[in-house]
Structure 1
C-alpha cells in the first residue's frame, strides 16, 4: 500500500446542490455570447432592468458587464443560484462569488464577463450604468438566439 492519500469527492454546497461531473474543459462561446446567455438566464428568472454593457475599451479586467436587479434578497440569491448552476453546467466557472450571503449586491466574475446582481436600492446607490454611460450597450433583442444551458437534474436519494 502506498502512502498516497485517496482523493475524496468534494462535499456539495447547500447553494449548489447540483453535481455535474462531465463539464467541458473550455467554454465554447465567446465573451459577448456569454454575456447575452447570462442576461437571458436572468430574464427567465424574472430579473429586472437587465443591461449588458461593453466595457472592454475602458477596463482591462472585463469586456462585458451584465447588470440585473432582483426584487429582494431572496430573489437576488435565486438569480445567483440559477446563473451559477446553469453556466457551470455549460463549462463556465467563476471564483468564489461576492455578496451572496447579504443578497444586496452579488458579483460573479467569469473573466471577460462580470455579472452584477443587485437589489434596486443598491443599484440606484452604486449607479454602475452611469459610471459606464459612454460604453456601448448590447441590445438583447438584436442578438441571435443561443440555446440556453439547462440546470443538470438534481438527484435526491429516496
Structure 2
C-alpha cells in the first residue's frame, strides 16, 4: 500500500470532519474578500464528495488570491493539501479537490454563467451568507 497517498481510506474518512474543513475554507476565502461564500451538502446525491464550497472573486487575480489563501489555511491549519487542483492556469474557475469536500472559486462572471447554486438548489446548505 502506498503510504504517501493523498487519498484517505474509507475508515479514516469517516473520522474526518469535512464540514469543519469546508468551514475553514470559507473563512480563508472570506479573508480574501470572496463573494457570497457558501457550503452545499451534496453527499447524498453524488458519491465522490460530501460538500461543495462555492465562492467568487471580481477578477482572476482575486480568484488566485482566494485559492492561495484557502490552500495556505488548510495546509497550515489542518495539515491537508488538495488531492488535485484544476483551472489554476486561467483562474476563471478553479476547483480544489480535498476528497471529502471541493472548493470552487470562480470569477463573478463564471459564477453567474454556471450558477452552481441553482444546479444544486435542492441540496442542504450548512452555511450561506444570504
Give CA-to-partner distance per residue, 1:120-148, whole Å, 9 cap, x none.
Answer: 1111111111111000001368xxxxxxx
Aligned to 2:67: 80
The alpha carbon displacement at 1:39 in A equals: 0.6
TM-score by length of 1: 0.68
Runs of 4+ in 1 over 4 A off after TM superposition: 26-29
Higher alpha-carbon Rg: 1
> Residue 39 of structure 2 contacts residue 125 of structure 2 at CA under 8 Å; is this kept in 1?
yes
Secondary structure of residue in 1 paired with 2:104: strand
**Counterparts of 2:54 and 2:116 in 1: how far apart (Å)?**
8
Segments of 5+ residues of structure 2 without an aligned counterpart are: 1-11
**Counterparts of 1:96 and 1:57 in 2: how far apart (Å)?**
22
Give CA-to-partner distance per residue, 1:15-74, whole Å, 9 cap, x none.
Answer: xxxxxxxxxxx9985011011111111111110011111110111011000000111000
Higher helix share: 2
TM-score by length of 2: 0.82
Count of residues paired in the alignment: 116
For residue 98 of structure 2, the aligned residue among 110, 130, 147 is 110
For residue 125 of structure 1, the aligned residue among 110, 113, 116 is 113
Give CA-to-partner distance per residue, 1:93-126, whole Å, 9 cap, x none.
Answer: 1133111120100000000110000001111111
> Residue 36 of structure 1 contacts residue 140 of structure 1 at CA under 8 Å; is this kept in 2?
no
Higher strand share: 2
Segments of 5+ residues of structure 1 without an aligned counterpart are: 1-25, 142-158
> Residue 35 of structure 1 contacts residue 52 of structure 1 at CA under 8 Å; is this kept in 2?
yes
